[in-house]
């Protein structure tokens, strides 16, 4: 299972995902050999940013609005679906 930790201490989940996308993209552009390894992470983040209904997600789970120290992980499940876990608990992700 591929996991991406999102830091929500200063940003909401959407901004944290955008920042992670930019960071992973910069790493991939710096090192051609890393593209293959980072490609799945880039696709996960891109898909999440394009399909998740972040407004509803933040409304259902206030800790995703930022300013919290909870462990938030974007993950790719065995079924190929992208999900979010807050403190180890998988939450329902509404789509646009």
- Cα 39–chain centre separation: 14
**pLDDT average, residue stretch 50-54:** 98
Cβ neighbours of residue 88 under 8 Å, at least 6 residues apart? 71
* pLDDT at residue 28, as a whole number: 85
Q: 91: exposed, middle or buried (C-beta count within 10 Å: 0-12, 13-18, 19+)?
A: middle
Spatial separation of the C-alpha atoms in residues 16 and 66, rounded to whole Å: 9
Spatial separation of the C-alpha atoms in residues 28 and 74, rounded to whole Å: 19
Is the pLDDT confidence value at 35 over 80? no
Record the tokens describing residue 27, joined without a space: 């790493």
Q: Is the pTM of this model over 0.95?
A: no
* pLDDT at residue 37, as a whole number: 76
Q: What is the mean pLDDT of the chain?
A: 94
């Amino acid at each position: 299972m591929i996991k991406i930790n999102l830091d929500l201490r200063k940003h909401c989940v959407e901004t944290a995902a955008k920042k992670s996308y930019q960071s992973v993209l910069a790493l991939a552009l710096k090192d051609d050999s890393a593209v293959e390894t980072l490609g799945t992470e880039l696709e996960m983040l891109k898909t999440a940013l394009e399909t998740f209904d972040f407004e509803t997600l933040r409304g259902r789970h206030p800790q995703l609005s930022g300013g919290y120290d909870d462990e938030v992980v974007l993950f790719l499940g065995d079924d190929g679906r992208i999900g979010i876990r807050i403190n180890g608990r998988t939450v329902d992700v509404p789509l646009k």
